[in-house]
């Protein structure tokens, strides 16, 4: 697929470029610690053209941490996100968390992080909602609101390529295993999976991977449904045995944590996400723990 180019600089990061006849866009800009390499990959793929848009699937640090460096390289680039994402980016706490977790990952890979940037870089230039279409010339991007991983999560369908670009709401595929990733709502995730399953796609672009192999794309949303349901049932069954909050977290970590997963995601981030998954599951089913 010559006009959809994987520019990911590190397996924990992000960045896939779509080149249209008139405009270009990157889907997520990835981690701050490898921003220089990601930018170089994008420049190589652009072959002298400018980067016009940056479409954000959601506002987590591993998808948007490199934003200040991209704005410096392409000052006219416009950031496209959901209305909910635009609101998140203006808040002090998410900006602080992006800095903190970006620093954790940089230290993990022995990289000195240049954090002398202004948080004002984190703002949306364009907001989109479900069904909005942005043409790039020869290809167009249709917006799909797919909350569940976060409230601001978006996926994107490129009908001319039969390509569906996903965020982590359906889950994160790693070494053949689909890890559940709903953080804000289990029920939203199920609805989002059903929505994506109804899209007439042929190819899937998966988080932190780019275009999936055919074997991974086939039946992906059936696997996603099974994985999310199993996660919900595990949490509810464990909670029914009345463990304390930390014990429930330990049980969840034993089931879903692994050295392989932690090589992609710092354990600190995993724990934050695990707490959110447990909390929203119990809340939606009226369970106290």
Determine the structural domain holding residue 12 and report its residue range: 4-173+183-217
Within a domain: 238: yes
Q: Given this model, what pLDDT does residue 115 score?
A: 86
Q: How many CB atoms lie within 10 A of CB 91?
A: 12
Within a domain: 264: yes
Residue 111's CATH number: 3.60.15.10
pTM: 0.95
- Number of domains the chain contains: 2
Q: How far apart are CA 160 and CA 276, in angstroms?
A: 37
Tell me: do 80 and 158 sit in the same domain. Answer: yes
* 3-state SS, residue 237: helix
Tell me: do 33 and 8 sit in the same domain. Answer: yes
Within a domain: 222: no
Q: How far apart are CA 284 and CA 255, in angstroms?
A: 21
Q: Given this model, what pLDDT does residue 288 score?
A: 74
Q: What are phi and psi of 258, to 5 degrees?
A: -160, 160
Instruction: Note down pLDDT in tens along the chain; length 289 residues.
Output: 789 999 999 999 999 999 999 999 999 999 999 999 999 999 999 999 999 999 999 999 999 999 999 999 999 999 999 999 999 999 999 999 999 999 989 998 999 998 899 999 999 999 999 999 999 999 999 999 999 999 999 999 999 999 999 999 999 998 889 999 999 999 999 999 999 999 999 999 999 999 999 888 989 999 999 999 999 999 999 999 877 778 999 999 999 999 888 888 888 889 999 999 999 999 999 987 6
Domain finish residue from 160, 192, 217: 217
**Residue 272, beta-bridge partner list:** none
Tell me: do 213 and 256 sit in the same domain. Answer: no
Q: Given this model, what pLDDT does residue 289 score?
A: 60
Within a domain: 178: no
Tell me: do 160 and 244 sit in the same domain. Answer: no
Q: Given this model, what pLDDT does residue 1 score?
A: 79
Structure tokens at 141: 């991007």
Tell me: do 202 and 236 sit in the same domain. Answer: no
């Amino acid at each position: 697929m010559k006009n959809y180019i994987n520019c990911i600089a590190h397996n924990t990061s992000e960045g896939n470029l779509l080149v249209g006849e008139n405009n270009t866009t990157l889907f997520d800009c990835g981690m701050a610690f490898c921003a220089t390499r990601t930018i170089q990959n994008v420049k190589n793929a652009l072959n002298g053209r400018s980067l016009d848009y940056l479409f954000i699937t959601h506002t987590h640090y591993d998808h948007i941490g490199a934003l200040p460096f991209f704005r410096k390289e392409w000052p006219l680039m416009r950031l496209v996100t959901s209305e909910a994402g635009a609101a998140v980016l203006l808040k002090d706490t998410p900006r602080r968390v992006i800095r903190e977790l970006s620093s954790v990952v940089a230290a993990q890979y022995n990289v000195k992080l240049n954090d002398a940037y202004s948080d004002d870089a984190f703002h949306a230039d364009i907001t989109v909602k479900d069904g909005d279409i942005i043409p790039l010339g020869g290809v167009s991007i249709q917006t799909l609101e797919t909350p569940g991983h976060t409230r601001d999560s978006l996926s994107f369908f490129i009908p001319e390529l039969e390509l569906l670009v996903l965020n982590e709401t359906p889950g994160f595929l790693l070494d053949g295993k689909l890890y559940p990733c709903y953080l804000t709502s289990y029920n939203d995730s199920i609805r989002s999976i059903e929505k994506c399953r109804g899209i007439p796609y042929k190819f899937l672009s998966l988080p932190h991977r780019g275009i999936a192999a055919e074997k991974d794309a086939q039946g992906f949303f059936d696997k996603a449904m099974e994985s999310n349901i199993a996660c919900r049932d595990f949490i509810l069954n464990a909670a029914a045995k009345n463990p304390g909050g930390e014990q429930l977290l330990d049980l969840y970590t034993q089931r879903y944590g692994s050295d392989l997963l932690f090589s992609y995601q710092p354990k600190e981030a995993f724990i934050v996400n695990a707490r959110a998954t447990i909390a929203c599951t119990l809340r939606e089913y009226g369970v106290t723990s």
